[in-house]
Amino acid sequence: MTPARASSKKASKAASKTGSKTSKAVVGSLGTLGDYLKEQRLGAQLSLRQLADQVGVSNPYLSQIERGLRKPSAEVLQQLARALRVSAEQLYVRAGIVHPDPGQPGSVELTILADTALTERQKHSLLDVYASFLALNERDAAPARPSGAVDPVETAEPADEL
């Protein structure tokens, strides 16, 4: 390896270490997905190339998913589940697309992801809206503030009307 290439690799590693919280969280959650996929692939005695062919993705792309570098779409996860003969829901949970809810066997997220009439972009948009509604409901259901606590919105001066 040339010195220029080595320093380029070091710079790349340093940049990835100083990445945003979001990218670290994504890589962290995808790491478990990748490990699980690799474990299932090896258990099925499939090479990376064989599984990539069955799923219809490139060998390098599948390798990046297994290493936690890429986030697969719901459609790719469905194809992986089919090829590995595992539950698509399990892969969605491990990918962080669906959050396990033991009280509800059929979740809204799974219904959205299973709908073949929707594009990937539409599915992700619906999931984002649904998650924001759930977060809003959780916030609204939070216990009331102790007496004496002041809401900054309530104490704001009324704006001059035009």
Q: What is the pLDDT of residues 81-128, one digit of tens each?
A: 999 998 888 888 888 877 766 555 557 777 887 777 888 788 878 888
Residues 6+ away with beta carbon under 8 Å from 52: 58, 59, 61, 62
Q: Structural domains in the chain?
A: 20-140 (1.10.260.40)
pLDDT band at 161 (very low <50, low <70, confident <90, very high): low
Q: What is the pLDDT of residues 120-158, one digit of tens each?
A: 788 878 888 888 888 888 888 877 655 555 555 555 555
Query: What is the pTM (predicted TM-score) of this model?
Result: 0.52
State whether the Cα torsion 122-124-128-131 is positive or negative. positive
Calpha distance 52→60 (Å, rounded): 9
CB-based contact 99:108 (threshold 8 Å):
no
Residues 6+ away with beta carbon under 8 Å from 64: 70
Which tokens in the block code for residue 114?
Answer: 């299973």
